[in-house]
A and B are shown apart, each in its own frame.
Chain A
Amino acid sequence: MAQKIGVYIDTGYGIGEALDVEALSQVAVKEYKVAVCRAEPYWSDPEKLAIIRNDIATEELTAVIIAGPSRRVFEKEFRFDGIITERVNLREHVVWCQPPNNEDTQMLAEDYLRMGIVKTQKYDDRAPFSEATEKAILVIGGGVTGLHAALGAANAGYQVYLVEKEAELGGWARKYPKVFTGKPPYDELVASQVGEKIAAVQASDRVKVFTGSQVYEIAGAPGMFDVIIRPNGPWVEEANKKANDWRAEQLARAARFAGEKQEAAAEKEEEVGAWGVGERPEPDYEHTRVAVGAIVVAAGWRPEDASKFEHLGFGKYPDVITSVQMEELAAKGKITRPSDGAAVQSIAFIDCTGKDNEKPNFLYHSYVTSLVALKQAHYLRQSNPDGRAYIFYENMRTPGQYEKYYQTMQDDPGVFLSKGGVLGVSNGGRQLAVEVKDTLLAERLKVSVDLVVLGVGMVPVTQDSAVVNLRYRQGPFLPVNPQGFNDSHFICFPYETQRTGIYTAGCVKQPMDFYQSGTDGLGAALKAIQCAELTAQGKAVHPRAGDQSYPELFITRCTQCKRCTDECPFGMYDEKPDGTPMPNPTRCRRCGICMGSCPERIISFRDHSVDMIGSMIKSIEVPDEYSEKPRVVVFICENDAYPAIDMAGINRMHYSPFVRFVPLRCLGNINLIWIADSLSKGIDGVMLIGCKYGDDYQCHFVKGSELAGVRMSKITETLQRLVLEPERIEVHQLGIDEYAQVPVLIDKFLETLSGFDPNPYKGF
C-alpha cells in the first residue's frame, strides 16, 4: 500500500547550523513527493508534536518520518496511534560526527533521508498475529522455586498447573533439617518455611497440583501450548532414553561435522531424523491434557555423581560422605559416624573436590556449596560444643548479606577455615587423615577427622532428561550452553530460554539457595504472565517486547531447504514430513535470522524485509568513479553496534563521511542478496558490524552475529562472479561499550579500500 508520508526535519541540536536544510527538504519534496515536509527545531516538544498530530489528521498521513535525533531517544514521544513512525538519525550519525557545512556531510544526510523514505514506502500492511489467547501457566517442579512461581501466578489471577514428579510437594527444602535464613541478621539457621508454601498452594483454588506425574509432551506455542501430563510409570524411562539417544546422535553428528564447512553439514541434514515431525497420535494412556499460555521450568537439581571423588576416599571409606548425605545424617539429630555409630568430634568439609593435577571441578560448584559447608559446620557446632569443623575451600563464596553468616561462622572458635587443595583422604587409624596442599598455614597440612564431607555440585536435572519433552522440530530439549545449563543471553535475559514462552527458574538454571530460588520462581512467574498477555495481544516478548510484526512465508516458492528451520535459534519452525516449514508465530522473537537464511528470500516482516533493505541500498546516490567519493554500506546490529555508533557521535568522534549505516534487527538478518545489491550498484565496500559471539556471546538472538559471519565466509563466489576483491567485505564484532573502536574500524576499512580502484559498477 502506498504510504502518505510526512517528513519532519529537526533543525535543533546543531543540525540546522550544520546542514543546508532547504536542500535536504527538497530531497523529500522533489525526489519523493512526500505529502508534508517541515523543518523546525525540537520536534519532541509538546507543541511541535501537536503540529504533527494536526498534519496526521488533516493530511491523512499514514507514516511519519522524524529526521533528527537517534531512534534510541524520544521513542515514546514519536509514537502515534496507527501511524508508522520512521526515524532518520541526522544527529548522532551525521552532524555530531562530521564537519558542518560540508559537501560530504550534506550528501550523507540526504542519503539517510532517502533511505528512510524508501524504507517507509516499503512498509507492508499486515495485521498482528493474535490467534493464541490461552493464559494459564504450567509450572514444572514442586520445590521451593516451583511453589513460589505457582503461588505468584495464582495470586496474580492466573490458572496454574503444577507438576511434581515426586509423591509430595516441597522438593529438597522438605528434606533439610535447617536452612540459612536469607533474612537479617543472617547469622542463624532456621527450619525451612516450605510447609507454609505447600499449604498455601494446596489451599489455592487456582492451582491444580499433579504429584507423582511428569510432563509427557508439550506441543504448540506460547499462548497455545498443548501439554500432556502423565502419572509416573515405565514410560518415563523410555521417553528419556528416546530423547537422550536423539541428543547423543545430534552431538555425535555435530562432532563429525565440526571440521567441515557449514553447508556440507547442512547438505547432510537429511540423514538425521527430525524430531516431532508427522502425526501426533491420540493418547491411549492415563493422562491429563491442559492448554497453557506459558511455562515455568523449575525442575531443580540433583547432586553431582560422587563416584568420581574416589581420590578423596568416597566409596572406599564409609566415613567419607557427600553434603547431601550429611543433611540426612544431621536430620537424625546427633551426628554419628556411618562406620561405627560413634559420636563425631571433628569433620573436614571439602569444598574443592578436584584432583591434584587438574583444575578444581567447579562446573556445578557455587556459592551454595560454600554456604552449605558453613551450615553443616554449624550443625556440628550446635550439637557438639567441643566439635571441630575444618573447611577447606578453593573459593569461599558468600555473596551479599551471606557475608554476615560467613562472619558468624568464622567467629566460632571451633570452625577452622583455610584455602587449600585436598590431596587425599587416607586411613589414619581410628580416624581419617586429610592432607591438604597450599593452605594458609602450611604448604602441606594434615588433619585427623572423624568424618569427611564432600561438597558436591548441583547438577541441573535437564542434564539427565529433556523435562519439557517438547514436540518441536529442533528437539525435545531446551538448548544448553557448553556447561550444560540452559542457554540464553545470561546477563540480559536470565529467565529466557531459547524456547519462547518457557522460562527457567531456580537450580535448573544455576545453583541457588532456597531464598534466591523463591524469588527467582516469582520472577519467572511474572515473565510467564507477561508472555501470555503479550502473546494474546499479538505482540512479541522480550527482547523485542511489543513488536507486532511477525514473519510470513511466501510458501509456494519454498524449496524445502530447511535453512530457516535449522537456523532459527528459538525453534520457531516445525516441519511437515516433506520438509516444508510450519511457522509458529508466537514462538518467534522477531529477530529475522530466518529472513537472512532463506536463499529464496520468501520470508518477510511487514516492516523489515529483503526487498525493503535492498531498496534502501539502491536509494543511495553513488557519485561517479572520478569524484573520489567512495561509498561504503555498513550493516549494523541495532542492539549493540547502533548504540555504540550513537555513543561515538555523542562523544563527537569523527570518521569518514562515505559510510552509510543500515541498521538490522540482528546481524543474522543479513541476506547475501544485499551484498550483491550493494556491489552491483557501485558501492565500493561492505562492512558488517555485529555483536560479540562465542562462549560469552552478547547477541540478543544467541547466534545471529555468528551466522552472519558464516554466511559472509561464503560470499567469495559472488565476488568472483563480479570480479571484485574479497577485501571489499569485512565482518566485525563490536561490544556495546566499544564506541571508541567505531572511527578506528571505519577509517581503517576506508584506507584498505583506497588501495583498490573504485568499484567498476558505478553508474550501471
Chain B
Amino acid sequence: MAKELIAEPDLGFTKGLLKSGGSDLKKCYQCATCSVACKVSPDNQPYPRKEMIWAQWGLKDRLMNDPDIWLCHQCNDCSTLCPRGANPGDLMKAVRKMHIESTCWPSFLGGLVGEPSMFVVAMGIPVVVVLLLVYFFNGFDFSGPSPVNYGAFINYIPIQVIYTLALVFAVVSLVISLKRYWNSLEANNPIEVQGPRKGFVPSLIEALKEILPHTTFRDCEANNIRYAAHLLTFWGMIGLFVTTAIVAFNIDILHLKPPSQNGPGTVAIKILGNASAVAFILGLVIMTVRRLTVPDQAGSSAYFDWLFLFVILGTGITGLVTELVRWAGSVPGAYFFYMIHLMFVLALLLYLPFLKFAHLGYRTVAIAWGKSVGRNMTLATAAKYVPPAKPVEEAASE
C-alpha cells in the first residue's frame, strides 16, 4: 500500500475501463480472494486486488505505471474464485488494453485499433495497399501464371520493401513505446518495490528464460489448456518467423531459388514451415473455441481481444488455405487466398504495437523490470503456509 496518495479520480478512465471489458470492476469489495488465489502474483503488494481499487477510484496514473498488469497471464483463477463476480482477470485485461493505447507511439494508431467503430478504417488500410499492389502488377488477373508462382503473380521486391518497412515501423514504434514504459516504471516505481538493481540485459535474459518455456503460464490453473495452446502458437509463430527469415535470406542474399512452390513437401525448410503453421493455427483455434464455449473460464472477450484473434488467426488460416488450395490444383484460388493472406500479414505487422499483439513486448519488459528490481513472485506456496509472527513493535509501527 502506498504511504501517501492524493487521489484525483479520473471518472472518464473508470468509464473507459468499464467499457473495455472490466464491466464488473465496481463490484469488488476488496476481500483479496483474487490475490490469494493467484498462483503467479508476488507476495509483496500482490495483484490484482490493488488494481481493482485503483480502477474503482479512477487512478489512471497508478495503473498506467503498474508493472503488475503485465505480470498477469490472465489464467482467470481470480475471476472464477471471486465471490462477488467482479472478474479481476477481465479488469486486468481491460487495463492492459488501455495501457497499450496510452503508451503506444504514435498514439492515434492506438485509438484507431482499439475503437470498434474504426474497424473498417483500420482493416481498410492493409486491404487497400494489397489491392493496389495486385492491381498494379496484374490488374486483378488471378488466372496465371500456372503452375503457381507467387513471385510472378506479384513481384517479390515491392512486397519485401513494403512489408519490411511495415515491420521496421512496427519495431521502431514498439521500441519507442516500450522505452517509454520502462522509463515510467523507473521514474515512478508505483508499487515502491526496492530490491537489488540489475542491468536491463541480464534482467531481460532472466525474463526470457521464463518466457520461452512459459514456466509462469504453466502455474495457472483455471485455464490450463491455454498454457498449452499459447505455447503451441508461440513456438509455431517463432517457427514461421524463422522459416520466412531463412527463405528471404536465401532469396535476397544467397540468391537461391525458393524451394519450388509445386515441388515435394519434404524439404527440411518446408517441413519446418508446415509444422509451425499447424502448431500456430491449432493453438489459436483452441483458444478461440474456448473463448466462445467457456467464457467463464477463458474470461470475457471484448473487441480488443477479437480483433487480435481475427488478425492473427486470419493470417494463419489464409496462409494454410492458400497452400491447401494450391495442392488442390486451383491456380486462381491459390492467388486469391494469397492476396487475402498478404492483407492479414500486413495488418499484423503494421498494427503489432497497437493490437493486443503488443503484449509480447510489454510483458517482456514488465517481467524484465520485475527481475531487475527483484520483484520475485515465488514465495514458495507451501501448503498451509503461515507467515512468521512479527515482533509486536514492528507490527504496531506498520
Contact = CB atoms under 8 A, between A and B. Distances in A.
Interface of A: 386, 388, 407, 410-414, 416-418, 440-448
A364 to B, nearest CB: 26
Nearest to A442: B5
B7 A445 contact: yes
Nearest to A412: B26
Given A442-B4, A446-B4, A446-B6, 20 more contacts: A386-B11, A388-B9, A407-B27, A410-B27, A410-B29, A411-B27, A413-B11, A413-B18, A413-B58, A417-B56, A441-B2, A441-B53, A441-B59, A442-B5, A442-B7, A444-B3, A445-B5, A445-B7, A447-B6, A448-B8
B180 interface: no
Contact of B26 (A388, A413, A442): A413
A443 B11 contact: no
19 contacts: A388-B9, A410-B26, A411-B27, A413-B18, A413-B26, A414-B11, A416-B7, A416-B9, A416-B57, A416-B58, A440-B30, A441-B5, A441-B59, A442-B1, A442-B3, A442-B4, A442-B5, A444-B5, A447-B7
B54 interface: yes
A412 B56 CA distance: 9
A413 B27 contact: no
A411 B27 CA distance: 6
A385 to B, nearest CB: 9
Contacts of A386: 11
Given A386-B11, A413-B15, A443 B1 contact: yes
A446 B5 contact: yes
Interface in B88-125: none
Nearest to A385: B11
A386 B2 CA distance: 27
A322 B9 CA distance: 24
Contacts of B2: 441-443
A440 B4 contact: no
A395 to B, nearest CB: 13
B231 to A, nearest CB: 37
Contacts of B35: none
Per CB-CB distance, the 6 closest pairs between chain A and chain B, nearest first, are A442-B5, A442-B2, A413-B14, A411-B26, A446-B6, A443-B3
A448 B11 CA distance: 15
Contacts of A447: 6-8
A65 B7 CA distance: 77
Interface in B29-76: 29-30, 53-54, 56-59
A411 B29 CA distance: 11
Contacts of B26: 410-413
Nearest to B17: A413
A443 to B, nearest CB: 5
A430 to B, nearest CB: 14
A710 B5 CA distance: 57
A444 B4 contact: yes
Nearest to B49: A440
Contacts of A440: 30, 53
A730 B330 CA distance: 106
Nearest to A443: B3
Contacts of B3: 442-444
Interface in B311-335: none
Which of B1, B5, B30 has most chain A Cβ within 10 Å?
Answer: B5
Contacts of A388: 9, 11
Interface in B118-163: none
Contact of A443 (B4, B14, B15, B27): B4
Contacts of A414: 11
A119 to B, nearest CB: 58
A442 B7 CA distance: 10
A421 to B, nearest CB: 15
B379 to A, nearest CB: 23
A540 B3 CA distance: 63
Given A388-B11, A410-B29, A413-B18, A441 B57 contact: yes
Nearest to A388: B9
A447 B4 CA distance: 11
A250 B128 CA distance: 95
Contacts of B4: 442-444, 446
A738 B1 CA distance: 44
A413 B27 CA distance: 10
Contacts of B59: 441
Nearest to B29: A410
B22 to A, nearest CB: 11
Interface in B176-203: none
Q: Tell me which of A386, A412, A445, A448 has the highest count of chain B C-beta atoms within 10 A of its own C-beta.
A: A445
B15 to A, nearest CB: 6
A461 B5 CA distance: 41
A740 to B, nearest CB: 31
A388 B30 CA distance: 20
Contacts of A441: 1-2, 5, 7, 53-54, 57, 59
Nearest to B57: A416
A416 B9 CA distance: 9
Contacts of A446: 4-7
A297 B54 CA distance: 48
B308 to A, nearest CB: 26
A444 B2 CA distance: 8
A513 B1 CA distance: 36
Contacts of B9: 388, 416
Contacts of A416: 7, 9, 56-58
A548 B53 CA distance: 63
B309 to A, nearest CB: 28
A447 B5 CA distance: 9
Contacts of A444: 3-5
A413 B19 CA distance: 12
A447 B3 CA distance: 15
A35 to B, nearest CB: 68
Nearest to A386: B11
A428 to B, nearest CB: 10
A226 B161 CA distance: 106
A416 B14 CA distance: 11
Nearest to A414: B11
Nearest to A415: B26
B30 to A, nearest CB: 5
A527 B126 CA distance: 81
A446 B54 CA distance: 14
A427 to B, nearest CB: 16
A251 B18 CA distance: 59
Contacts of A448: 8
Contacts of B5: 441-442, 444-446
A410 B56 CA distance: 9
Nearest to A434: B7
A447 B58 CA distance: 13
A663 to B, nearest CB: 48
Nearest to B56: A416
Nearest to B16: A413
Nearest to B2: A442
A101 B208 CA distance: 84
Contacts of B15: 413
B394 to A, nearest CB: 16
Nearest to B59: A441
Contacts of A410: 26-27, 29
A424 to B, nearest CB: 15
A441 B5 CA distance: 8
Contacts of B1: 441-443
Contacts of B29: 410
Interface in B211-226: none
B170 to A, nearest CB: 35
A416 B28 CA distance: 12
A391 to B, nearest CB: 12
A442 B8 CA distance: 13
A566 to B, nearest CB: 48
A412 B18 CA distance: 11
A417 B27 CA distance: 11
Nearest to B62: A441
A695 to B, nearest CB: 28
